Amino acid sequence: MADTWLPSLTTATPQEGFELATKLARVGVKLTQPSSEIRDKLRATYEQDAGQLIASSQVIAIHFQTVSAANNYWREG
């Protein structure tokens, strides 16, 4: 069984929420491709490809939408 690394989507601030969204994206890639050697090889390709970088940003944005909703968009009261 995997270690619990995500006890909650709750964050104190939008910036922490964005950092969590970024981590969600990174963990998703790591779970999809568990070989760090292969991920390192692929990174050399996508870091030079604007389309792939935009796609990565889109994944983070989708995760940020989820985290934002889970935090009631950081509304007070």
pLDDT in tens, the chain (77 residues): 568 899 999 999 999 999 999 999 999 999 999 999 999 999 999 999 999 999 999 999 999 999 999 999 999 75
Distance CA(11)–CA(5), nearest Å, equals 14
Structure confidence at residue 25 (pLDDT) = 98
* Contact present, 66 and 25 (Cβ < 8 Å): no
Q: Which tokens go with 66?
A: 């989820």
Structure confidence at residue 37 (pLDDT) = 97
